[in-house]
Amino acid sequence: MVDLSVDFDKEAAMEWLRKVSPRRVLIQSPLGLRALAERLDKFVKEWGAESFISSSPTWGGCDIAVEEAKRVGAEGIIHIGHAPFLSQTELPVLYIEARYRDYKPLKDMVESVASALGNHKRVGVGFTVQWLDHLARFMNDLSAKGFAVLAGEPGGHLSHRGQILGCDYTSLKSIEPLVDCFLVVGSVFHALGAALVSEKPTLMVDPHTQRVEWMGDKAKRILASRYHMITRFQRARRVAIIVSRKPGQYLMGLAQKLKKLLNDKGMEAAIIVSDEITTENLSDFSFDAYVNTACPRLSIEDQARFSKPLLLPVEVLVALEEISWDEVLRNGLLLNMSLKSSIT
Ligand code: SF4
C-alpha cells in the first residue's frame, strides 16, 4: 500500500486564514481525502470561522466549488488534493496538495525502468503532483544509470517543475526537441495523455502497480477511434456544444466561436451548459453529435459510453477541414489551448 500524505501545513493554512479572514469557509476534496476535509473543518472552526464540507465530486484543480461556496455564503474555499490550476478565482482558494511520502515504490522500479528505456538515452520526465516530492531523487537515480534526464518548467495550468496534468503537458512539450522519449510517473491515464500530445514515445511508470509500459499501442488505438468519430461528425446536421460550469473548464467564448463556425458551414448548433457531463444528462436530446469544450479527457476516456460523437474543439476543426489531422497529430490531440487560440 502506498502511503499518501494526508497532512497539511498548519502554518500555511493559518496564514491563509489570517490573510483572507473569512467568516465562512467551504472545504472540498476528492474521494480518498475526505478524512483530511474533516480535520480541516475542525481546524477552521478552532481558528474562529464557520466551516462547511462539500461532498460534491472534485475532479481536479479546475473544479473549484465557487457556486456552492457562494450559495452557503463562504468567503473562501479550501481545495484538497490538487495543485493550483487557476491564477485567478472569484473567491480566495487555498490549495492543499497530497503527496506520497515514501520514495521506495518508485525507487524499486529504477532497474526495470532503465531496462525498458534501453537506447532512449535522453529522457523527459513528467510527474503527477502526488509523486513530485521524489522528482529530484528519481532523476538522479536514472542519471546514475547513464541517462540524460530532463524536467520541464511549468506553464499553462501547471504549478511545479516536472508536473503534468491529464489536460496539460506543457512541461513535457517545452523539452520535446531535447529528448528521445517521455517518461510519466503516475497512471495509464496520465501517460496516455502524454502519448497523445507528442509523437515521441512515452513510457508509463506506475509505482502503485509497479508496471512499466510503453503507451504507443494504446495511443494509436485512441487516435484511430478519434478519427472515426470525426468522420461520423461530418455527417451530422444538428450539433450541440457543451460548456462546463466548472471555473477551470468554462470556455463560453470558444463555444460561441465554434457555434458560428458550424453555422457558417450550414450546420445547426446549440450550446448546452452543464456541471457534470454524463450520458444520462444528454440521453434525451436529439442532436446528431456533440462538441466537448469541458475536460478534454471526457472525449478520450468516456466516448465509448456516449452513442454520439463527442468531439474536442480541435477535432471539429479537422471535421470542417479547417486544419489537417496530420497537423493535430504533430501538435498533439490534447493541446487544445493553443489551437483554441487560433480560432479565438
Ligand atoms: S480539465 Fe480534466 S484533466 Fe484537466 S485538471 Fe480538470 S479534470 Fe483533470
Written as one string, the DSSP assignment of 247-275 is TTT--HHHHHHHHHHHHHTT-EEEEEEES
Taking the C-alpha atoms of residue 192 and residue 326, their distance in angstroms, rounded to an integer, is 19
Kindly give the residue spans of alpha helices, DSSP state H, lying in 147-271: 170-173, 188-195, 216-233, 252-264
Q: How many A from CA of 275 to the centre of ligand 1?
A: 13
How many other CB atoms are found less than 10 A from the CB of residue 111?
A: 11
Taking the C-alpha atoms of residue 126 and residue 192, their distance in angstroms, rounded to an integer, is 12
69 touches 144 (CB < 8 A):
no
Helix (H) / strand (E) containing 127: strand 122-127
Residue matched to cell numbers 499553462 = 156
Q: How many A from CA of 85 to the centre of ligand 1?
A: 9
Q: If you take atom 4 of ligand 1, which residue's CA is the nearest one?
A: 167
Q: Would you write out the chain's pLDDT as a tens digit for each of its 344 residues?
A: 555 556 788 999 999 999 999 999 999 999 999 999 999 999 999 999 999 999 999 999 999 999 999 999 999 999 999 999 998 999 999 999 988 889 999 999 999 999 999 999 999 999 999 999 999 999 999 999 999 999 999 999 999 999 999 999 999 999 999 999 999 999 999 999 999 999 999 999 999 999 999 999 999 999 999 999 999 999 999 999 999 999 999 999 999 999 999 999 999 999 999 998 999 999 899 999 999 999 999 999 999 999 999 999 999 999 999 999 999 998 889 865 444 444 44
> Does ligand 1 come within 6 angstroms of the Cβ of 60?
yes
> Does ligand 1 come within 6 angstroms of the Cβ of 249?
yes
- Structure-derived torsion over alpha carbons of residues 135, 136, 138, 141, reported in degrees to the nearest 10: 170
Taking the C-alpha atoms of residue 7 and residue 81, their distance in angstroms, rounded to an integer, is 11
Two domains, one topology: 10-96 and 223-342: yes
Q: Name the CATH superfamily for 10-96.
A: Diphthamide synthesis DPH1/DPH2 domain 1 (3.40.50.11840)
Query: What are the boundaries of each domain within the chain?
Result: 10-96, 104-214, 223-342
Considering the four listed CATH numbers 1.10.287.3510, 3.90.550.10, 3.40.50.11860, 2.60.40.1730, the one that applies to the domain covering 223-342 is: 3.40.50.11860
Question: What's the pTM value of the predicted model, to 2 decimals?
Answer: 0.93
pLDDT at residue 334, as a whole number: 83
Q: How many A from CA of 185 to the centre of ligand 1?
A: 17
Q: HSE on the CB side for 265, CA within 13 Å?
A: 20
Atom of ligand 1 nearest to the CA of 59: 7
- Most informative mutation of 31, 58, 62 for ligand 1 (most atoms within 8 A of CB): 62
Q: Name the CATH superfamily for 104-214.
A: Diphthamide synthesis DPH1/DPH2 domain 2 (3.40.50.11850)
